[in-house]
Each structure stands twice: as C-alpha cells, then as structure tokens.
Amino acid sequence: MKILFVGNACGFLTIQLARKLQEAYPALEVDVFTDQVPVAPHPYGKVYAYKSGKGLWSLNYLKSIYQYLQMRKVLRQIPSEYDAIHVLLVVPTYRLFWRSLSAKGKVSVLTFFGSEYYRSNVLYRIFTKGMARTANRVTASNVQTLSDVCDHYDVPVSKRRLCRFGLTILEEIDQVTAAEITEFDRKHEIDSSTKCISVGYNAATIQNHELILDQIHVCQDELPPFVLFFQFHGHRHAYVQQVIEKANRLGLPFRIIDGLSDRELAVYRKRIDVCIQLQKTDQFSGAMQEHLYAGSRVITGNWLPYQVLDEKGTDYCKIQSIEELHKVLPHQIGMTSNSINKEIIASLSSWQLTISGWYELYAIS
C-alpha cells in the first residue's frame, strides 16, 4: 500500500504517524507533498517539496500566488499511483487544485485539527467546503470536533472517522526514575518540596499565559513554595517577551524549559504537580493528556471539547472561566490525582491501540 501525505513533513504529529504506520504495517509506504524538506533520517519514501516565496514573492498576496504556482508545478511530478491521499492540515490553497490532487489516489482523506478549524474565518470555510464534501473520509481526534466540522460541511455520517494520534511520551513516562527527578530538581535549582506548575505548553497567545499569571498572583500567598514552568519551544517573539516581563513584574518565580528530548519531556511531565491548560480553543491536547498520565493535577476550561475524558470518569478540574483559577489553584496544588487517569489516557492515546484506525482509513470500501 502507498500513501501520499499532504502537509508539513516536519510536523511532529505527521512524522509520528508516518513512523507508527510503517512500524505496524511494514509493507506500507509513505511519501509526502510539502513545503518543507524534512531533515534525515525521516520516515518518508519520496519527498515532493515546493518552494516558498522570497523577496517580493514573500509579501501578502504575492506569496499566495507564488506558492500556488510552485505547488502546481510539483504536483505535476506526482504519479497517480497512490492508494490514498491524506491531507493532514487542511488549508484553503489546496482547494485550487483539489480535483487533481485527490485524483492521485484511490481514496482521499482530510484530517481537521480543532485548533485550526475553530479559529478559521468565513473565507477558510468557504474554500475548504468543497474539499470536505468530496473527500472519501473526514477525520478529527475527538467526537465534538468531528461533529462540528462534519455538520458544518454536511459530510455524511458514512464518511466520518474518529482517529486519535498516539502519544509516544507515555512509554517514556513509565520508565522515569526517582534519580532522574532528583537530577531535574538540581538542574533547575529547586527543592524537592517545591511545587511545580506548568503554564500552557507552547508560545501561542491562545494559551492565555498573561491572564493565568494574573490569577496566580491573586492567590500567591495561599500557595506553598512553588515555581512556574513555561514551554516556549525556542520562541522569543514579542508576546513571549510580554509573558516573561509580566512574570518578573508580578514577582512570580519561573523557569523556561525548551529543547527537550522525549526522555527529558517525560521527566518534566512527572515532576509537574499542577498543569494549567486554559487555552481558547483545542482539539484534544496531547500535552494535557501526558500530564494526566504522569499524575499531575490538571486545571482546564469547561469550554474545551474534552467530553470523552468526562465520559470515562477522568479526575481533573474544570472551571467556567479563567477568573476562577485563583479560587481552585490553592486546593488543587495539594491534591493527588486518581490513578485511573493513567488507564484512561492509555486507552485513548496509546499508539498500539490507535494506529489501526488510521490504517483502516486507506482501505477501499
């Protein structure tokens, strides 16, 4: 079986999915159509890469025109020999040559990410409507997002598929030792009794870092000794600088933790006592799931689509608005999470259990 992925070949989830598919199904081949050439070693067979505009061609509408011309040029080089074409990030530009792109395979698949869909504008939805209606299968990683997307585009129930990405970090979390936790404390100059609080998990403004910091400042005197942890993934743009300056101004102790290997990330998840995840929109946060699996207390918003966690009886704290955070944090920071969380997350996001659902997308029915 041969699959053509369409999207960011360097994206973590895209790479993971390609690897896990080929580990589970060695006869399967995965090629990719992308604007970024991945660094070797990568899991793809052939990489069909188109160039991004530079100079004048990088400006506004000229950028889109240049990208379209480059995509069309490279698309002509792709043979019509694939069992499936899988678009892993649905963008309006693909609509301009969707007919020829989808014709490259026997089955066409679109995967929608809630974080993109819920922030999309009217033009995005108009341009992608034809793709969603004519694709053979449409997927999302949670029931609510799948329903919202498919209802909006009038996608028949027969074409809808719930497919969850697995989390490789779960395997690493199980192997973390007490010595590694001790070394983490030493490296970050904190005492073993210090409570660790993660604030968001990337540098995006939708993480609401600043509003969270305001709330922590309000209840600061009610908390035991603590330190905040930010993950900005190397970004130091204007918004990140605002967050850093605000934490300093409010006198909140913090560390920035970036560039982690899988093992280091697993140790970090195990060390966090409270994960605060109050972003504006989401699909099904992998970072939050990893914290739940590792035993962290999680505070999140009831506006986020995590019904599947509620249905399975997950032990976590949901609040109505960010303004409630200062009321619940002092209590949550002293609690221990129910061990059932580990079982629940494993059942939802272990690659061993989720990979077959992805593979079945590509079968001709």
Model confidence over 219-254: pLDDT tens digits? 999 999 999 999 998 889 999 999 999 999 999 999
Q: Looking at the chain, list the stretches that DSSP marks H as alpha helix, in order from N- to C-terminal side.
A: 12-24, 60-75, 98-102, 114-117, 122-134, 143-153, 169-173, 178-187, 209-218, 238-249, 262-271, 286-294, 307-311, 325-332, 340-349, 351-361
Per-residue DSSP letter, 36: S
Instruction: Assess whether the region 2-166+351-361 and the region 169-349 belong to the same CATH fold.
Output: yes
Per-residue DSSP letter, 37: P
**Torsions phi, psi for 152 (to 5 deg):** -65, -40
Note the pLDDT tens digit of each residue in 176-192: 999 999 999 999 999 99
Structural tokens at position 340: 């059932």
**DSSP code per residue over 186-220:** HHTT--TTSEEEEE-SSS-GGG-HHHHHHHHHHTG
As a whole number of Å, the CA-based R_g of the chain is: 22
Following CA atoms 16, 19, 24, 26 in sequence, which dihedral angle do they give, to the nearest 10 degrees?
A: 160
Instruction: Please count the residues of the chain.
Output: 365
d(CA 189, CA 272): 15
d(CA 195, CA 37): 41
Fold of 2-166+351-361: Rossmann fold (3.40.50)
d(CA 135, CA 60): 29
Q: Which helix (H) or strand (E) holds 229?
A: strand 226-230
Instruction: For residue 227, give every residue at least 6 positions away whose Cβ sits within 8 Å of its Cβ, in sequence order, or none.
Output: 188, 190, 194, 195, 196, 197, 253, 254, 255
pLDDT at 329: 98
CATH number attached to the domain at 169-349? 3.40.50.2000
Q: Looking at 83-138, list the stretches that DSSP marks H as alpha helix, in order from N- to C-terminal side.
A: 98-102, 114-117, 122-134
pTM of the model: 0.75
Note the pLDDT tens digit of each residue in 32-59: 999 888 888 999 999 999 877 666 556 5
Pair 227, 197: CB distance under 8 Å: yes
Profile the chain (365 residues) by mean pLDDT over runs of 10 residues. Answer: 95 92 96 90 94 64 77 93 94 90 96 84 90 96 89 96 91 96 97 97 94 98 97 92 97 95 96 96 84 97 90 96 98 93 93 93 84
Following CA atoms 308, 312, 316, 319 in sequence, which dihedral angle do they give, to the nearest 10 degrees?
A: 50
d(CA 53, CA 356): 38
Structural tokens at position 38: 């991945």
β-bridge mates for residue 138, sequence order: 110, 160
The CA–CA distances, whole Å, from 4 to 18, 41, 66, 288 equal: 10, 18, 23, 30
pLDDT at 133: 94
Place of tokens 């986020």: 304
d(CA 63, CA 69): 10
**Annotated domain spans of the chain:** 2-166+351-361, 169-349
**DSSP code per residue over 151-175:** HHHT--GGGEEE-PPP-THHHHHTT
Give the burial string for 213-222 (b: 16+ CB within 10 Å, else e): bbbbbebbee
